[in-house]
Amino acid sequence: MHAFRRRLGLPGRAGVAVLVAGLGVLSPIAAAPASAQTAGTLAGTWATPPPLSPGDSPPTDTGGPDKTYKKKTECVQRSLGQNVEINFRPWGQDYLQLQKAQDIVRATTGSVGGNQKVAVIDTGVTPHPWFQGRVESGGDYVANPDNGQPGGLQDCDGHGTEVAGIIAANPQDPKVGFIGVAPDARIVSYRQLSENYAEDDSAGAGTPSTGQPPSGGNKPPAGNTGQPPGGNTGTALPPENGGGAPGGTAKQQNDKGDNRQLQKKGTAGTLHTLAQIIRNIADGHRAGVINMSVDHCRAATGPGDIQTGEREVQAAVRYAADRDVVVVAAAGNVSDSCPQNDQADPNKPKSIVTPPWFSDDVLSVGAIDDGGGVASFSVHGPWVGVAAPGTKIVSLDPAVGSTGLANLTIAGGNPSPIQGTSFAAPYVAGVAALVRSMYPRLNAREVIKRIEATAQHPAAPGGRDNFVGYGVIDPVAALTANLPGDVGNLAPPKPVVQAANLPPADGGSSTPMIVALAGTGGGLAALIITLFVMHTIRRNRPEH
């Protein structure tokens, strides 16, 4: 056997072993799912939340706030500054090739997410006309709206409307470049957070503040209501100095990005009510996708440490995922109270961000800038799932009565581009709605896996890192890729007959072909004669 291997030039047993090992090195290694990574490399680290106990369950929904809040500043209004037209297409739309993705879904289903609902847990959503009435009340966990709208349909901060606009706004105007990711989807709005409200810990001590100055203070010019003229006009200064509302509204962000946080002193919103809302959505089948551009950030203190509210949210997102709801959350923004996780050991982070921390059940979204790099304000961590555009944001003007767009906010008293992971998350939530529309047989966790698997993976072990997770989302690939494991979940592709595009027949003379065939035939005849003669000579040769 060994001699036979040597004659054929085959390797021996040792050579075969080396060859097999070499093939193993060259074979592609599939990225381990997030759950496997958590159970393996992250087990017992600070970056991994303690597992849920069998008895852990989300709190029962009470349908309202768990504290009494009062308004401290007036709701966002249109700026008194110069109105500007915002007709250009935001860079994020081109980067993600959203128009191509929308064309694919429209051709397949007849709409772009028309059969989907996305729950937006945020600061409320103003019923902007470019929603075409596709916003419905989910509930209000801050205060009863004082604008005559149902719960969840007042946005004093101006944040939730911008988030919802990225998901589902539809200007229906060819001159407007901006459009939501799933412009036919419905929004279910829950007001759960506000920096314009604060806990009322002085029971009976006066009436809630309206943000108005003392008598004789600055007043808006006579006749100027701060409302926009008709048409597609944006505003150079949306949220803070508020059109004609002396005292303005609370600022949305600082130079590092959106700095709102759950349970921050002087604001409204707790982890407890966040968990209640998530359960409300899952129990009532209110939506197939949840977008949470709200976060709670705290210092990491060691393995196994988890707060009561965090545990409730952990139970709630597991509860929702088990009931077929895709849960998407912003990865969080760096701030003075939420330092960047830039330490040497990624498994011992400086900051813990909830809900992204619970990555087994939540798809958390980091932000990139218009250069394709990781945005400086995007919090890193092993829980980051994917990334999406989060800078130079254009979305709906959140002021009541507005019919246009906004691309600036106030940061440190100065106009600043809208940015933050808060605005990267709705890109992903919109894509999740499109995937659910295209592939209704996929469950929530399969939708997340599809988005992760088709993302533009970073050059890192396993195809993921702590900055962009599995990479920047690729909506076209998420809607069209044929992935391993799709069999049984997706309809097999229909065979298509391909037309043969052969060159036309040569209509010229056939003489060259005849000559070539004749020459070939003559050569074969000569070969046969030669073989016959040689055979005859060998047969008639005398024996020695």
Burial class from Cβ neighbours inside 10 Å (0-12, 13-18, 19+) for residue 59 reads middle
Q: Token digits for 284?
A: 């009532």
Instruction: Assess if residue 240 is contained within a domain.
Output: yes
In a domain, 119, yes or no: yes
CATH label of the domain that carries residue 266 = 3.40.50.200
- pLDDT value of position 481: 96
Instruction: Specify the amino acid at residue 11.
Output: P
422 is catalytic: yes
CA angle 331, 334, 338 (to 5 degrees): 95
* 159 is annotated as an active-site residue: yes
Contact assessment for residue 470 and residue 457, using Cβ atoms and an 8 Å cutoff: yes
Catalytic residue among 351, 359, 422, 437: 422
502 domain residue, yes or no: no
pLDDT of residue 255: 44
Q: Assess if residue 539 is contained within a domain.
A: no
Measured CA distances, 45 to 38, 300, 315, 337, 470 (Å) = 9, 11, 20, 22, 21
DSSP state of 497: P
pLDDT of the residue at 511? 65
Q: Count up the domains in the chain and report the number.
A: 1
Give a yes or no: residue 235 inside a domain. Answer: yes
Q: For residue 46, tell me if it sits in a domain.
A: no
User: In the prediction, which pLDDT does 14 show?
Assistant: 43
Q: Which helix (H) or strand (E) holds 416?
A: strand 414-417
d(CA 437, CA 113): 6
Evaluate whether residue 457 is within a structural domain.
yes
| Residue 518, CA distances (Å) to 43, 507, 515 in order | 79, 21, 5
Of residues 61, 128, 137, 159, which has the active-site annotation?
Answer: 159
Instruction: List per-residue pLDDT tens for the chain, 544 residues long.
Output: 444 444 444 444 444 333 333 333 333 333 334 333 333 334 447 889 999 998 899 999 999 999 999 999 999 887 655 567 899 999 999 999 999 999 999 999 999 999 999 999 999 999 999 999 999 999 999 999 999 999 999 999 999 999 999 999 999 998 999 999 999 999 999 999 999 999 987 744 333 333 333 333 333 323 322 233 333 334 433 333 233 232 333 344 444 445 678 888 899 999 999 999 999 999 999 999 999 999 999 999 988 899 999 999 999 999 999 999 999 999 999 999 999 999 999 889 999 999 999 999 999 999 999 999 999 999 999 999 999 999 999 999 999 989 999 998 876 677 889 999 999 999 999 999 999 999 999 999 999 999 999 999 999 999 999 999 999 999 999 999 998 876 445 554 455 455 555 555 555 556 656 656 666 767 777 777 777 667 665 656 565 5
The whole domain housing 128 covers: 69-212+225-480
Residue of 122, 140, 155, 258 marked catalytic = 122
Question: Is 336 among the residues known to form the active site?
Answer: no
Q: What is the pLDDT of residue 208?
A: 37
Phi first, then psi: give them for residue 363, nearest 5 degrees. -95, 105
Kindly state whether residue 63 falls inside one of the protein's structural domains. Answer: no
